[in-house]
Structure 1
């Protein structure tokens, strides 16, 4: 009983260091004001802009976000997580607050440049936050910590639209001013309350050693299990996004009330926020390959129900399976790149977030195209993709520990160390 208590939710919360609590609070605060990606298209159309310009602006923001996560990994690697979080948020605030001004100019390119830079700097904090989380949280609660991060993000995402509805009644421009304010507050929190965890020190070879100068990105390309993990993440994100793209199209096509989709969204958010940490406390006792593989397989069951019938009960039941699959696989998937060696960790995380952003950006387009061509058959395709992601995740979630260099025998000459010593790129 004591062992169970020591691994439970309350134990994880008690073991969470104060800096991690500040970090999670900053993540929730920043997400509370994350209005650009959600409301940019509506805002530009409301101001009289064309749908084409609004769509291109969202594409520019998404493209900036993809490159921003890679940049965040590089900055974290070179300057540490606190500087990266504080700097990215300090720049993000003014860039986001400038959107109303650039949207009012006659030329389109200042708006495109502004939202692209806003996406770049806004998302740069994510790898840094993940590095700080993995470095400061006790090892036994690593997966639980990433579950906490997801809860912080989901809490901000759930409350943000409610706040946006209030701000819009006063002035649409307040959306971007408030978004900028939360970013600046997060920057202040980072510089004042987060610890100055240094970037990993450069490894220096001993006299006579030959250093392998492969870059971190070359190491990733040789890491076959990590590549399988990335493939699983890519497919899983495309499938996940159809919950927000193809599902509402299905509800409308089936002549169901739009309120059904709203009820599904609210219920899913509440379940994720209130239940994920408790479910994670059980899931962490499973082997990670089983947790992520089975979680993706549960996705597939939800899609199977949506494919076979249009019943509102099945829509809700399929959504419950969808959320359950998320809670089973999500925390372990988030934690996986943070298990990379310290000298590569920030870059592994940067590439992971970039790929997730890329797949999330193209998934809506793919979903609409698939729906137009296949109709309800899209759910069969999603189910197959989810199963493929399950297989890839099962084999890709395992992290191979780096072998320790063996001490040479006294009677034998020392072995070459060119394959054992690597310099961080």
Structure 2
């Protein structure tokens, strides 16, 4: 956003439509009970499962999550965001709640199926939420809206472990019953409060019917041909949308930035604890780092997003990636002082606040006919990176030690340059300097010569 007038946090909050408030509230409620991915391994090992079996369950959940965002994008395109959120959350609730019943001996394969399906449906709502957010929020505040959604997710992610710590003292099984319960609450909120919208596939079909000129034919032939064409349209539309995406070089560069950036960002939760343990810091120090990061992000992101709103999108994304790259590299100095760890965490968070809202809002700028699929693909790539991040982090950290963080900084900087190339728009042609005064309504001639 490059308007001359600055975007203010209060103005953005005031301009937020009521359905968007309901949407963000549902996201927060759902995230407050999102315990599966965080506590699944601990829970299964507590119930007597082997570490390898618990790891397989987490892999199943991650794989389901990747495909879930793609499935959610297709359902959103065909049936609309509200229906997708309702269906995904209503389906995930019993699946998540039943995990505790399948954690005993001899139930590994049913457990893997249920956990995989839970990941599939739990993540399927996310493309729908992003589409609905971009459709309802005024264009001027689009990036701010995605910043609001990130804050809702991060508040939930920060509070969920605290809630879990209390729940575990009562009963481990309650974790998954509460998780399923919050998903069901979100489904009910979507049913009662979110607006009904015409699905994009239906809108396209209606537009095609209104614009079509039927050819002269014998009675009955026209109806049969039209029905067959309408039945084949969704599949063809899906193929053409993904084919166009694969041929869009700029969007592929953007997806590359999402992949690399997500791989390195996740190391703050994977390799950093290993680094601090190797440097003989107490476990509580890592909790302090996470708390500082969460507080800075939750309290500052909207203000940072508003302050930088007048800068071009490509400037925001490259600047944010470079700041984050410096922060990751600073983690390599943790062995000298804990102050470097805190400083690195703050820099990483500031880099995320500068770049992430624009990065996650970018797919929503595409036409409505392909928006859901572009959003779903971006989220699937991010999910794949998160699934690969433990392999990437543990393998390289054990071999590089402190030098691993310098590598993370370099990879993040490379992601920034991919993002720069992927989101940058060509400059608009400037009007001719020697053009004379124009009367109102006269077309402007750009780049002409006399």
**More divergent stretch after superposition (61-70 vs 257-266):** 257-266
Deviations 1:365-424 (A, max 9, x none): 1100011111111111111101110100111124689xxxxxxxxxxxxxxxxxxxxxxx
2:438 corresponds in structure 1 to: none
- Contact 1:5/1:11, CA 8 A, preserved across alignment: no
Q: CA deviation at 1:256?
A: 2.2
The reply to whether residue 244 of structure 1 matches residue 269 of structure 2 is yes
Q: CA deviation at 1:259?
A: 2.1
How far apart, CA to CA, are the structure 2 residues paired with 1:272 and 1:138? Answer: 24
Q: Which of 367, 376, 381 does residue 407 from structure 2 map onto?
A: 381
Matched position secondary structure for 1:327:
helix
Q: CA deviation at 1:315?
A: 1.0
1:397 corresponds in structure 2 to: 423
- Contact 1:67/1:120, CA 8 A, preserved across alignment: yes
The reply to whether residue 336 of structure 1 matches residue 340 of structure 2 is no
- Contact 1:147/1:331, CA 8 A, preserved across alignment: yes
The reply to whether residue 232 of structure 1 matches residue 251 of structure 2 is no
What is the number of equivalent residue pairs in this alignment?
398
- Contact 2:49/2:105, CA 8 A, preserved across alignment: no
Q: CA deviation at 1:20?
A: 0.2
Q: Which of 280, 283, 288 does residue 255 from structure 1 map onto?
A: 280
Please give the TM-score of this superposition, normalised by the length of structure 2: 0.86
1:131 corresponds in structure 2 to: 131
Q: Which of 299, 310, 335 does residue 274 from structure 1 map onto?
A: 299
Q: CA deviation at 1:108?
A: 1.2
How far apart, CA to CA, are the structure 2 residues paired with 1:178 and 1:336? Answer: 33
- Contact 1:340/1:399, CA 8 A, preserved across alignment: no
Q: CA deviation at 1:5?
A: 8.2
2:221 corresponds in structure 1 to: none
Q: CA deviation at 1:307?
A: 2.6
Matched position secondary structure for 1:124:
helix
- Contact 2:4/2:310, CA 8 A, preserved across alignment: no
Q: Which of 265, 268, 274 does residue 290 from structure 2 map onto?
A: 265
**More divergent stretch after superposition (382-391 vs 249-258):** 249-258
How far apart, CA to CA, are the structure 2 residues paired with 1:292 and 1:4? Answer: 20
1:76 corresponds in structure 2 to: 76
2:191 corresponds in structure 1 to: 191
- Aligned pairs (5 A) from 1:7-406: 7-104=7-104, 106-200=106-200, 201-202=203-204, 203-204=207-208, 206-207=212-213, 215-308=240-333, 310=335, 311-398=337-424
Please give the TM-score of this superposition, normalised by the length of structure 1: 0.90
**More divergent stretch after superposition (60-69 vs 296-305):** 296-305
2:448 corresponds in structure 1 to: none
Deviations 1:297-326 (A, max 9, x none): 011111222234522111111111100000
How far apart, CA to CA, are the structure 2 residues paired with 1:216 and 1:156? Answer: 34
How far apart, CA to CA, are the structure 2 residues paired with 1:173 and 1:307? Answer: 39
- Contact 1:103/1:111, CA 8 A, preserved across alignment: yes
How far apart, CA to CA, are the structure 1 residues paired with 2:404 and 2:371? Answer: 36
Runs of 4+ displaced beyond 6 Å: 3-6
* Backbone CA RMSD of aligned residues: 1.9
Q: Which runs of 5+ in 1 are unaligned?
A: 402-425
How far apart, CA to CA, are the structure 1 residues paired with 2:423 and 2:5? Answer: 27
Q: Which runs of 5+ in 2 are unaligned?
A: 216-232, 428-450
- Contact 1:236/1:385, CA 8 A, preserved across alignment: yes
